[in-house]
Amino acid sequence: MDMPDDTRKAIWTFWGCIGTAVIAALLDRLSQRMGTGEFTFNLVLYGVAVIIPFKLAARSNATRTILCVLAAITLLAWVGGAASMPTALFSKIIGWLQLPAIGLTIFWLFTPKSNDWFNDSRNATADRLGGSEGSTTSRSGHVDRIEPSFDKQPAEDGFKTHDQNRV
């Protein structure tokens, strides 16, 4: 199963949020509205956030949940503490503009097609490994066993195929 468009949009929107946040932090640092320590902290935080789109693309249901929790905490922090935030002007403006984008990201990650794609753990690992007709996957998406298939062995090499042994 290919990645649904909603999931793809969510991942690209999140990438856009990370990119604009980095640019805003850089503008705030260059305009002396943000100190070196805060700027460094923000860059490290954005560097860690880069993991999220990669994990989402790898069908990580846990990452979807973590992103929801982080979005809720961010929303509460922005709405509850915006007046007391430091005056990093560009980061504050971009932060307010990103709230609807993060909301859309969460919405797109939980549409029915996205849910089906994330919950299709039976074929997730096989798809990433190139598929295997004898493999089975557990609910977590790990390959439990791989059964070799001898059905496709050519008969002219002197060996009987699996089907010929049943006769």
Which pLDDT score, from 0 to 100, does residue 120 have?
Answer: 83
- pLDDT at position 133 over 50: no
Q: Provide DSSP, 28-79.
A: HHHTTSS-HHHHHHHHHHHHHHTHHHHHHHTT-HHHHHHHHHHHHHHHHHHH
Which pLDDT score, from 0 to 100, does residue 163 have?
Answer: 52
- pLDDT at position 165 over 70: no
- pLDDT at position 85 over 50: yes
Q: Which helix (H) or strand (E) holds 98?
A: helix 89-109
CA triplet 16, 20, 24: central angle to 5 degrees?
170
Of the chain, the percentage scoring pLDDT greater than 90 comes to: 41
The alpha carbons of the chain give a radius of gyration, in whole angstroms, of 24
Tens of pLDDT, residue by residue over 154-164, are 555 555 555 55
Q: Which two tokens stand for residue 145?
A: 């066993």
Cα–Cα dist 95/124, whole Å: 34
Which pLDDT score, from 0 to 100, does residue 86 have?
Answer: 61
Cα–Cα dist 14/46, whole Å: 11
- pLDDT at position 62 over 60: yes
Task: Identify residue 70 by its one-letter amino acid code.
Answer: L
Q: CB count, 10 Å around CB of 74?
A: 14
What would the mean pLDDT of 92-100 be, rounded to a whole number?
A: 85
Among residues 82, 93, 85, the alpha carbon closest in space to that of 20 is found at 93
What would the mean pLDDT of 49-68 be, rounded to a whole number?
A: 93
